[in-house]
């Protein structure tokens, strides 16, 4: 059933902001206002000078506070987003062999990077059916365990515990970071891009690195392995501690990230932001569980993502009809990642107030009733 653009949601039901995507996510208006107010004092100035370096410093100290990073951890920044970090990790973090938990599109991409690397052994890959997550299996052959805190493509989250083994625990936290509570003692690297829970823009990666991870980066860099300079983690570390990046960063991305991290810290930190997501999640999954035409895609409630929900719908409702009708009414980006299921993916981010989640559900109810009538 194609979208029915004749369905008009009454304006009184609409959320204050129609962006419900799973990434990129809504950028708060106040962040955009602050950026505009910076006028000629920030945008268009040199990233090697104090104005921009202070912004990088704000990002680093704000994230250190938000995550409660212990002494010796570093906040490392580089250009290229989480996808570039996978490439950088293949060169500069994996010694010989990695183990990957593969349970969706993003965890699969990291496997793809590592599988083709000529200087590495074939990775261990542990899979589980879509809608679930596998568990790591410690092994003497493995020097890096690649976990994904939240597999954004399917809406599955996994508990984050350090793998009890010699290898590093390296976590793709691209959608989880800032939205799910985490204990930094449980990871060696926690990496992410700013356009998900931090509601900034893409193009940058952030990697929270433990002393063990920093030691590994140094050792591989000194080993003589060829590493493309742009992907060198040791130069990313060396630049980051000076509040710089290897090459020119997108200044607006840094500004919006700093602004949002400080906003989260001011609201009550990670406990607050993860609490807001959990409350949004409880509202939406609760709605889906009791609706005769809907149900959460992930069967095990403990694995359901608190930041991006995948909700299945029964025929004659279709994802194209629902997402298209919502889009025609200004509620955007609820389309699925995999177009083979009949579901929507709906963001539950820290930037989404409960009143907007309630309004979203009221709009969905309205559209469903209108389509079925
Ligand atoms: C969005 C996402 C990525 C990719 O991030 P980019 O910034 O586009 O490289 C990687 N992993 C996960 C879990 C994601 O959600």
Q: How far is CA 172 from CA 32, 195, 282, in A?
A: 27, 14, 24
Instruction: Report pLDDT digits (tens) over 129-166.
Output: 999 999 999 999 999 999 999 999 999 999 999 999 99
Which atom of ligand 1 is closest in space to residue 153's alpha carbon? Answer: 15
Contact 153 CB / ligand 1 (< 6 Å): no
Which atom of ligand 1 is closest in space to residue 82's alpha carbon? Answer: 9
Tell me the pTM: 0.97
Instruction: Report pLDDT digits (tens) over 87-118.
Output: 999 999 999 999 999 999 999 999 999 999 99
When pLDDT is averaged across residues 2-22 and rounded to a whole number, the result is 90
Q: What is the pLDDT, as a whole number, of residue 338?
A: 78
**Cα–Cα distance for residue pair 371/259, rounded to 1 Å:** 41
For the chain, give every domain's residue range.
11-27+270-372, 34-266
Q: How many angstroms does the Cα of residue 368 sit away from the middle of ligand 1?
A: 31
For the chain, the distance separating the N- and C-terminal CA atoms, rounded to the nearest angstrom, is: 14
Question: b vs e for 264-284, b when ≥16 Cβ sit within 10 Å of the residue's Cβ?
Answer: bbeeebbeebbebbbebbebb
Q: How many angstroms does the Cα of residue 226 sit away from the middle of ligand 1?
A: 26
**Cα–Cα distance for residue pair 30/247, rounded to 1 Å:** 28
Which fold is adopted by the domain 34-266? Answer: 3.40.640
Is pLDDT of 167 > 80? yes
Per-residue confidence band for 2, with pLDDT thresholds at 50, 70 and 90 = low
Q: What is the pLDDT, as a whole number, of residue 340?
A: 79
Mean pLDDT (the chain, rounded)? 97
Q: What is the pLDDT, as a whole number, of residue 1?
A: 53
**Cα–Cα distance for residue pair 114/95, rounded to 1 Å:** 11
Contact 280 CB / ligand 1 (< 6 Å): no
Instruction: Report pLDDT digits (tens) over 219-241.
Output: 999 999 999 999 999 999 999 99
Instruction: Report pLDDT digits (tens) over 304-342.
Output: 999 999 999 999 999 999 999 999 999 999 999 877 789
Q: How many angstroms does the Cα of residue 190 sit away from the middle of ligand 1?
A: 13
- Three-class secondary structure of residue 60 per DSSP: helix
Q: How many angstroms does the Cα of residue 81 sit away from the middle of ligand 1?
A: 7
Closest CA to 284 of 350, 353, 197, 348: 348
Which atom of ligand 1 is closest in space to residue 23's alpha carbon? Answer: 1
Q: Do 11-27+270-372 and 34-266 agree at the fold level?
A: no
Closest CA to 38 of 54, 16, 17: 54
Query: What architecture is the 11-27+270-372 domain classified under in CATH?
Result: Alpha-Beta Complex (3.90)
Q: How many angstroms does the Cα of residue 126 sit away from the middle of ligand 1?
A: 20
Is pLDDT of 42 > 60? yes
**Cα–Cα distance for residue pair 304/157, rounded to 1 Å:** 6
Percent of the chain with pLDDT over 90: 97
């Amino acid at each position: 059933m194609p979208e029915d653009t004749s369905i008009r949601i009454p304006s009184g039901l609409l959320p204050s902001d129609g962006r419900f995507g799973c990434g990129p996510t809504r950028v708060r208006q106040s962040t955009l206002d602050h950026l505009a107010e910076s006028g000629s004092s920030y945008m268009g100035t040199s990233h090697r000078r104090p104005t921009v370096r202070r912004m990088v410093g704000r990002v680093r100290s704000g994230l250190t506070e938000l995550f409660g990073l212990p002494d010796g951890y570093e906040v490392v920044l580089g250009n290229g987003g989480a996808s570039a970090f996978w490439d950088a990790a293949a060169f500069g973090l994996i010694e010989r062999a990695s183990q990957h938990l593969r349970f969706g599109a993003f965890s699969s991409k990291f496997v793809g990077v590592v599988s083709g690397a000529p200087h590495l052994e074939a990775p261990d890959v542990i899979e589980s059916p879509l809608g679930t997550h596998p568990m790591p299996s410690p092994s003497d052959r493995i020097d890096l365990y690649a976990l994904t805190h939240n597999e954004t493509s399917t809406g599955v989250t996994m508990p984050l515990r350090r793998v009890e083994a010699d290898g590093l625990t390296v976590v793709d936290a691209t959608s989880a970071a800032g939205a799910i509570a985490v204990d930094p003692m449980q990871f060696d690297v926690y990496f992410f891009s700013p356009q998900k829970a931090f509601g900034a823009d893409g193009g940058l990666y952030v990697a929270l690195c433990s002393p063990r991870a920093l030691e590994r980066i140094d050792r591989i860099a000194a080993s003589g392995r060829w590493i493309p300079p742009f992907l060198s983690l040791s130069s990313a570390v060396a630049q980051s501690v000076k509040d710089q990046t290897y090459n020119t960063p997108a200044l607006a991305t840094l500004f919006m990230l700093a602004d949002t991290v400080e906003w989260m810290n001011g609201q009550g930190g990670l406990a607050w932001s993860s609490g807001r997501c959990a409350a949004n999640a409880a509202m939406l999954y609760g709605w889906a569980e009791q609706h005769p035409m809907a149900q959460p895609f992930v069967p095990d409630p403990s694995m359901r993502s608190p930041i991006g929900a995948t909700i299945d719908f029964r025929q004659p409702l279709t994802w194209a009809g629902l997402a298209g009708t919502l889009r025609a009414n200004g509620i955007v980006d609820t389309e699925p990642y995999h177009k083979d299921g009949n579901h929507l993916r709906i963001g539950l981010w820290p930037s989404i107030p409960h009143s907007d989640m309630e309004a979203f559900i009221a709009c969905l109810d309205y559209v469903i009733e209108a389509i079925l009538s």
